[in-house]
Chains A and B, each alone.
Chain A
Amino acid sequence: MVNTSDILETIRMIQDENLDIRTITMGISLTDCIDSDITKANTKIYDKICKKAENLVFVGNTIEKEYGIPIINKRLSITPISIISAATQSESPVAFAKTMDKAAETVGVNLIGGYTALVQKGFSAGDRELIESIPEALSETSRVCSSVNIGSTKTGINLDACALMGRIVKETAERTVNNKCFGAAKLVVFCNAVDDNPFMAGAFHGVGEPDCIINVGVSGPGVVRSALSKYKGADITEIADVIKKTSYKITRVGQLVGTVAAERLGVPFGIVDLSLAPTPAIGDSVAHILEEIGLEKCGCPGTTAALALLNDAVKKGGVMACSKIGGLSGAFIPVSEDAGMIDAAVCGSLTLEKLEAMTAVCSVGIDMVIIPGDTSHETIAAIIADEAAIGMVNNKTTAVRIIPAIGMKPGEELDWGGLFGKGPVMPVNTYSPAKFISRGGLIPAPLHSLKN
């Protein structure tokens, strides 16, 4: 039998420390919906999504009540639309985004990911059209998320795609300027994108995945911070051990919820994404864990080392706790979604350059960073290229989700509310990388030996 202190610990984690399941994401393959007639393809897509996911929200809510654990989001990821839209050639792929939006609304999920193109080595039929349509797609839908993979460790970095995405990110922000440039918050540019990521905005259902699958993303920065607060005088090895043990417990809940959800929905259980995903709520911050470890403010010297320890310990604890691990797995550092990161950015301790260094040792990248609206598209492209280089060389996933705040200057604030949070406009180095970006071509894949 479970003992009393364990029961009370679990309840405290949920009630006081914001332990939750961040997302149950159903991945749905749409490869059987390909049709050269765009109307037929859209009908097939709508019907398939609605059929597969009709009980997703109901099952999620039932599990939430039964186990007493909040499940914050129920979401969908689908096959990259560029693969589907390629068959329809001259038609605008925006119709697919509208179908995704409608299907997501019908089944009651708040976000659907997969308005995606994979162009790490080059553009195939339909890729360019899809990417060019992203600003329109994200401004005319509310639930659709988009991602583009522009590099990988095996292929190198597609610099033409970086240049294109620099322009697309800016255009997306411009087209949604009346909605606080929110479109750009639903657009992720990846290097080494993964096929089974349950987290938005970068989720899509990879082509090697089964027809339908359930992936789970856990959370719990508040639990880790609270556990560490009891070890004021501990040395850093002991800190790593505490994080491992806490991560084990958090991940066990993810494994349980995923297993039960998959069973009830009659689809295979995919993976648990071992992540510490913050929210803007007080007590749910990754930055505050780093500060609990001993930094005066997130972003000061020592941040990268502390984050490396945190990220590694989270994985080590989680690996034992679940049968299949995947997705992005690690500590997330989205600035606007983390109360401690917001504070650190406002006071100037956390800069874009330090964030870039931090992404070398954690999941995932320059995430939810608000930059001045007059930042050139070449500079955005170069930020993407820099981040992709870190991912390519270190054999890890990196991403860029930056929001050019049109008409705003450093120090001003953009506030979306809810899980997306708010943040200050962060200054960006204004010297121009335009010539580098305009060269185009492919940055060759790195050497896999002679490592130094």
Chain B
Amino acid sequence: MRAVITVIGKDNVGILAKVSGVCANLNANVTDVTQSVLDDMFAMIMLADITNMNTDFSVLADTMTELGKTLGLAIHTMHEDIFTAMHGI
């Protein structure tokens, strides 16, 4: 089971560290990261294995949303299945 965490917003120091820090605290293992910075805009897609997470998915989602508000970024945390369902046959 994996969560897809997308982060979009103005670039800043330490975004990747803070987002992966939340994952580490909740025991979600980051397995893949794609990121780019274009004209000061930061965009990242992170995949995290949530099989052994020490809490509910909703806690992960809420913590990320809160972090996003603090940093002035849009952070969406969604179960991977919605993407595989929508884009696969």
Nearest chain A CB to B42 CB, angstrom units: 14
State in angstroms the CA–CA spacing of A62 and B81 once bound together. 15
Q: A2-B80, A68-B78 are in contact. Are A62 and B58 (CB under 8 A)?
A: yes
- On whether A256 and B32 interact (CB within 8 A), knowing A7-B6, A62-B58, A65-B57, the answer reads no
B76 & A68 in contact (Cβ 8 Å cutoff): yes
CA distance A68 to B85 in the complex (A): 14
Chain B positions within 8 Å of A320 at CB level: 89
B53 proximity list for chain A (CB < 8 A): none
Interface string of A230-269 (1 = CB under 8 A from B): 0000000000000000000100110110000000000000
Cβ–Cβ contact B83 & A65, under 8 A: no
Give chain A residues whose Cβ lies under 8 Å from the Cβ of B76.
11, 15, 68
Taking CB atoms, residues of chain A closer than 8 Å to B77 are 68
Residues of B within 8 A of A252 (CB): 85-86
With A66-B61, A68-B78 as contacts: A7 and B85 at CB distance below 8 Å: no
A43-70: CB near B (< 8 Å → 1, else 0) gives 0000000000000000000100111110
Given known pairs A2-B4, A4-B45, the reply for A69 and B61 (CB within 8 Å) is no
Closest CB-CB distance, A419 to chain B, in whole Å? 23
Neighbouring B residues of A249 by C-beta, 8 Å: 86-87
A450 within 8 A of B: no
Expressed in whole angstroms, the Cα–Cα distance for A60 and B26 within the complex equals 24
Cα–Cα distance between A66 and B61 once the two chains are bound (Å): 8
| CB-based contact B79/A67 at 8 Å | yes
Bound complex: CA A326 to CA B32 (Å)? 39
Q: Which of A1, A66, A253 contacts B86 (CB 8 A)?
A: A253
Residue among A15, A65, A256 with the most chain B CB within 10 A? A65
- Determine how close the nearest CB of chain B comes to the CB of A184; give it in whole angstroms: 38
Chain B contacts for A68, CB-based, 8 A: 61, 76-79, 82
The answer for the CA separation of A9 and B4 in the assembled complex, in Å, is 13
A65 touches B58 (CB 8 A): yes
Q: Decide if B84 is an interface residue (CB 8 Å cutoff).
A: yes
Is residue B34 contacting chain A, with contact meaning CB distance below 8 A? yes
Cα-based distance from A90 to B79 in the complex (angstroms): 54
Do B61 and A2 touch across chains, with their CB atoms under 8 A apart? no
In the complex, the answer to whether B81 meets A7 with C-beta atoms within 8 Å is no
Q: A1-B32, A62-B58 are in contact. Are A6 and B85 (CB under 8 A)?
A: no
B85 near A65: Cβ-Cβ < 8 Å: no
Cβ contacts under 8 Å, A447 to chain B = none
Classify chain A's interface size. Answer: 20 to 34
* Contact (Cβ within 8 A) A7 B58: no
Is A10 a contact of B83 with CB atoms below 8 Å?
A: yes
When C-beta atoms are compared, the residue in chain B nearest to A8 turns out to be B6
What separation, in Å, do the CA atoms of A249 and B86 have in the docked complex? 5
Contact A6 B86 (CB under 8 A): yes
Q: In the complex, what residues of A have CB within 8 A of residue B58's CB?
A: 62, 65-66
Chain A residues within 8 Å of B45, by CB: 4, 7
List of A residues within 8 angstroms of B84 by Cβ:
2
Bound complex: CA A65 to CA B78 (Å) = 8
The chain B residue with its CB closest to the CB of A19 is B86
Nearest chain A CB to B38 CB, angstrom units: 13
CB-CB nearest in chain B for A259:
B85
Question: Which residue of B62, B83, B84 has the most chain A CB atoms within 10 A of its CB atom?
Answer: B83
Closest to B78 in A: A68
Contact B80 A66 (CB under 8 A): no
In the bound assembly, the distance between CA atoms of A1 and B57 in angstroms comes to 21
Q: Are A69 and B6 in contact (CB under 8 A)?
A: no
Assess whether A256 is in contact with B81, with CB atoms less than 8 Å apart: yes
A415 to B23, CA, bound (A): 47
Q: Which residue of B lies closest to A13 (CB)?
A: B86
Bound Cα distance from A11 to B8, whole angstroms? 11
In whole angstroms, how far apart are the Cα atoms of A222 and B45 in the complex? 25
Given contacts A11-B76, A66-B57, A68-B77, contact A2 B83 (CB under 8 A): yes
Q: Chain A residues near B78 (CB, 8 Å)?
A: 10-11, 66-69
Contact, CB under 8 Å: A4 / B82 = no
The proximity string for A residues 138-162 relative to B, scoring 1 for CB distances below 8 Å and 0 otherwise, is 0000000000000000000000000
A9 to B82, CA, bound (A): 12
CA distance in complex: A67, B85 (Å): 11
The answer on a CB contact under 8 Å between A7 and B83 is yes
* Between-chain CB contacts (< 8 Å), 6 pairs: A1-B47, A4-B45, A8-B6, A62-B57, A68-B76, A249-B87
- 5 further contact pairs, Cβ within 8 A, besides A66-B61, A68-B79, A253-B82: A1-B32, A66-B79, A68-B77, A249-B87, A252-B85
List chain A positions with a Cβ less than 8 A from chain B. Answer: 1-2, 4, 6-11, 15, 62, 65-69, 249, 252-253, 255-256, 320
* Residues of B bordering A, CB below 8 Å: 4, 6, 32, 34, 45, 47, 57-58, 61-62, 76-87, 89
Q: Which 8 A-B pairs have the closest CB atoms?
A: A68-B78, A256-B85, A2-B83, A6-B87, A67-B82, A252-B85, A65-B58, A66-B57
